[in-house]
Structure 1
């Protein structure tokens, strides 16, 4: 049995449990962690089914051709010059619906495939797109289901907030993360993510700078301590986001280090220097 087989069987088992007890939040949460691990299996460890591996577009010439075709579609729908990813997806969506109305279903299906291909690029750029076939999106929906069934569970608030932060919905993410912190003030990972959410706000942390710095440092200290003690080494990544494979958190620590460069010695609570943070 491969790792993917094991994860898929676990997901099927939890989905079956949900069918029998749909109002048990724990089952929704456990399914979410397995779905999220399926995403990491592909994105971090490169594990894919054979038919998926055969379908991967590795030819840069084909990719260039697709991009040129998308740019042409953008021009047709009034998006000129250097278009953003959002504008490209919007143009493809407009083209898809137009073709559907004209009865050109074959061409519409091709445009839909182009849209899916471009959406995957959105995920690789650091913004997770809500593609329903993406296991990370499915995991997010299950975390939300778990939370809707138990609003007093800090862990469910935390994971919904963490995923919203991945989607760059900072304001909404901060609300859920602060709820989690209120329910579980001792959680280092929650404090760390609240600090990261402050940092990710438009215009930076502002008046919450000291709070953000303190929380991020505590998170970094916990991460370094866990590396030494190997705490959480046997857990799924979704169960232990405070680890070195969490690129969202690592990029946050880089921003934390750069923030410290601008603060000088204004905050006496900060023991680490910018150089130490960036070095680590």
Structure 2
């Protein structure tokens, strides 16, 4: 059975941590992206994740921060490490934490995250359509840009979150300025904008990403195409990603339990398998996308 690494999943314990979007009023920003998410506003623990994995040979998984308390991002990382050390039996093997590169004590915060052995990267909110002030663009913030160098210092991956089409040029420059830092774009590197102009820009941008050895794209987030998504709906985007990036710069994820609203866990991986088959990706190249690249990028 093929070895798999899930490079994008979440767990949450509403009793152990504070997740505003899961425990307070329903977030309009989240609803705009996912639709009604009431079914996941409950505990989802590592035991639940293992049940959803079922018979699939998922040998490791990377937890991407789940928007826990923004005032204490370290607490979530410490909790995840305690899960890995206890009931998770090593899982999550990799932790991508919430970043705050505009904080005056950014390095102190990063060092606290890195005290957890499974810490591997930072996901930093970029687009003001989420929780940032409406007029804030981190890529124009000198403090943020200075602190970005801390990722290389601490050997961390940078997960690009919600970069708007207008920010892409600056993101590309950031990749060029920091060639030793790996940039990972989740959910096919698509933005929440899906108009014709945005898609055309996306096609141009991923070709540039493919020319940069420190850029990676995740096959994940199919649920963002809607609760009724089909393989045919995601096929052209996945094919464009594989064509632009090649087998060395693509990884796979489930986005569970968020995507549980749209599909069983097994169906997500069946879609990965089918589309890799359709793209003619076999043998060692297939193993790279399903396992090897994730192991290398996240140092699992």
Give the TM-score normalised by the residue count of structure 2. Answer: 0.28
Which of the pair is proportionally richer in strand? 2
Give the TM-score normalised by the residue count of structure 1. Answer: 0.29
Higher relative contact order (CA 8 A, sep 6+): 2
